[in-house]
């Protein structure tokens, strides 16, 4: 009985392949394609040739699991048909088209999943769903995941690349005390006492408190996710890291409040200022533009030696926003997004210190000739100076907060100069561990760069003079005293070169 069952489940077909006897055995469940491949194998031909069968009368035999069995003495004749080059090309194109269609279908599914997830998130955040409704949302999300798995099975594609990273960031929602909320608005804010998750929550608070979430219809969950993604795209450099990003953004937030900028600027200007600060050093490699250009790095080649780092920071910022789940401006119209993008690019490119004199001198001229807040050119000039002030504002803070930043900056400088020496590249004196000291690094920078720029802003906003310019003068005095002490402790011939060093020690990004 067992042998009979086995015989019913398979068939044996005898063949004549160019006068040579062959046979194939296949299950009754085999497809025509499977049997065709068996015939091609038995005939010793490749997949690009078609194989047909003829019986003893010359009639063609249908190749399928239901084809009639034959005997060894009456085999089917195998006919191998040559395929032309055009046929092969058409076959390949057909397969490519098939794979494209699969990919397109998965892309459509991804977009549909993205839309549905956004809708669910919006309902949870805005409507404050009840527990039973949230359970329904969870069920809906589970169904969506099942669809993605079904897509993998149906289209034979690896859908790991379609990971949407839609989960809400895990950093907790901190309840900020009124003391912290008030302190966050001050230039004296101590940025060293906060962990990464806390800094994320503080940045999130800024967007809510300034009314930007409501003004630009931001999805609060997308805001969280965007901040988390930004954080992940800052490298762990000694200086140009996420804490520096937070430091610059907090100073901008402080200046917005100190100078009451919301009464003089539109919400569009405010959101550009804050968002540009957050993105201004994204994916900074820890080596400045001078190194990029001298070493002929990919960034320098890509951007033709023109602000390679700043151009890269802009590119990364908007690459993040190309992901719908990380685009805080997804609900604004195309024209408004274009203006936001143009404004952010303008400000981030302005942080290149190679453009310092050009930008500050232009702003000074506008202030001296009568600054006009309704003039777009004047307003753009102010915004560029403001982000520059915030980017290099460490010395505005109390000495206990600012001085550790100098150590971080020198560590990053020395890391670069050591590499430049090993690669035979030029080394800037203010970055050479054998030539620079902490006071010589700071005195010239504060005196020739920081104070003149902040004094120019103070002519427009008198509040700046006491809160920011005076601390800068105190910082200059502190480092001059430190230098005097160092000079007393070192040989006289070394100290003769210090004045020249001060004038050379202008930091670069």
As a whole number of angstroms, the distance between CA 290 and CA 296 comes to 10
Q: Which of 193, 205, 240, 313 is catalytic?
A: 240
Say whether 240 is catalytic.
Answer: yes
As a whole number of angstroms, the distance between CA 183 and CA 179 comes to 6
Bridge partners, 54 (sequence order): 60, 77
> Is the separation of the CB atoms in 387 and 277 below 8 Å?
yes
- Tokens 């430091």 belong to 247
- Comparing CA positions, the residue from 263, 241, 259, 240 lying closest to residue 251 is 259
DSSP-derived letter for residue 267 is: H
Q: How many CA atoms lie within 13 A of 440 on its CB side?
A: 23
Number of Cβ within a 10 Å radius of residue 460: 16
> Is the separation of the CB atoms in 498 and 487 below 8 Å?
yes
Q: Phi/psi of residue 60, each to 5°? A: -75, 140
Count of H-run helices and E-run strands, the chain:
23, 5
> Is the separation of the CB atoms in 333 and 217 below 8 Å?
no
Q: What is the dihedral of CA 61, 64, 68, 69, to 10 degrees?
A: 110
- Comparing CA positions, the residue from 394, 355, 360, 445 lying closest to residue 240 is 394
Alpha helices in 459-497 (DSSP H): 463-464, 470-488, 492-495
Alpha helices in 217-305 (DSSP H): 220-232, 242-258, 267-279, 289-294, 298-302
3-state DSSP assignment of residue 461:
coil
Long-range pairs for 218-223: beta carbons < 8 A, 24 or more residues apart: 218/328, 218/329, 218/331, 219/118, 219/121, 219/122, 219/125, 219/328, 219/330, 219/331, 220/125, 221/121, 221/124, 221/125, 221/168, 222/121, 222/325, 222/326, 222/327, 222/328, 222/330, 223/328
- Tokens 């025509």 belong to 32
Walk across the sheet containing 60-61 and list its strands: 20-27, 10-17, 76-81, 50-54, 60-61
Which amino acids are annotated catalytic?
Answer: 240
């Amino acid at each position: 009985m067992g042998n009979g069952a086995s015989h019913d489940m398979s068939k044996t077909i005898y063949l004549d392949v160019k006068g040579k006897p062959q046979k194939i055995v296949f299950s009754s469940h085999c497809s025509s394609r499977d049997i065709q491949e068996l015939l091609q194998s038995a005939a010793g031909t490749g997949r690009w040739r078609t194989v047909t069968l003829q019986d003893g009368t010359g009639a063609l035999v249908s190749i399928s699991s239901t084809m009639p069995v034959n005997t060894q003495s009456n085999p089917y004749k195998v006919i191998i048909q040559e395929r032309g080059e055009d046929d092969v090309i058409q076959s390949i194109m057909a397969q490519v088209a098939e794979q494209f269609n699969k990919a397109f279908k998965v892309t459509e599914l991804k977009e549909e999943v993205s839309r549905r997830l956004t809708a669910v998130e919006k309902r949870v955040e805005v409507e404050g769903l009840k527990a039973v409704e949230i359970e329904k949302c969870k069920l809906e999300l589970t169904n969506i995941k099942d669809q993605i798995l079904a897509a993998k099975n149906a289209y034979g594609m690896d859908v790991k690349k379609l990971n949407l990273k839609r989960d809400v960031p895990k950093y907790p929602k901190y309840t900020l005390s009124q003391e912290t909320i008030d302190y966050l608005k001050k230039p004296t804010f101590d940025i060293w006492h906060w962990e990464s998750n806390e800094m994320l929550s503080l940045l999130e608070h800024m967007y809510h408190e300034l009314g930007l979430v409501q003004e630009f219809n931001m999805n609060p969950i997308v805001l969280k996710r965007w901040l988390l993604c930004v954080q992940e795209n800052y490298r762990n450099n000694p200086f140009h890291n996420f804490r520096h990003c937070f430091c610059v953004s907090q100073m901008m937030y402080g200046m917005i409040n100190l100078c009451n900028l919301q009464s003089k600027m539109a919400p569009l200007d405010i959101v550009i200022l804050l968002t540009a600060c957050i993105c201004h050093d994204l994916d900074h490699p820890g080596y400045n533009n001078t190194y990029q250009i001298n070493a002929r790095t990919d960034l320098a080649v890509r951007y033709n030696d023109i602000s390679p780092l700043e151009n890269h920071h802009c590119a990364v910022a908007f690459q993040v926003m190309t992901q719908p789940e990380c685009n805080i401006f997804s609900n604004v119209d195309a024209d408004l997004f274009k203006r936001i993008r143009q404004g952010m690019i303008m400000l981030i490119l302005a942080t290149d210190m190679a453009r310092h004199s050009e930008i500050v001198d232009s702003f000074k001229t506008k202030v001296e000739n009568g600054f006009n807040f309704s003039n777009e050119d004047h307003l753009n000039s102010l915004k560029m100076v403001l982000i520059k002030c915030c980017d290099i504002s460490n010395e505005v803070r109390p000495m206990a907060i600012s001085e550790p930043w100098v150590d971080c900056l020198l560590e990053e400088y020395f890391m670069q100069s050591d590499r430049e020496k090993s690669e035979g590249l030029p080394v800037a004196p203010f970055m050479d561990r054998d030539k620079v000291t902490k006071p010589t690094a700071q005195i010239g920078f504060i005196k020739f760069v920081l104070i003149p720029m902040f004094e120019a802003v103070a002519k427009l906003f008198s509040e700046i003079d006491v809160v920011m310019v005076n601390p800068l003068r105190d910082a200059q005095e502190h480092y001059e005293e430190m230098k005097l002490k160092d000079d007393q402790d070192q040989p006289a011939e070394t100290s003769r070169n210090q004045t020249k060093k001060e004038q050379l020690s202008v930091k670069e990004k």
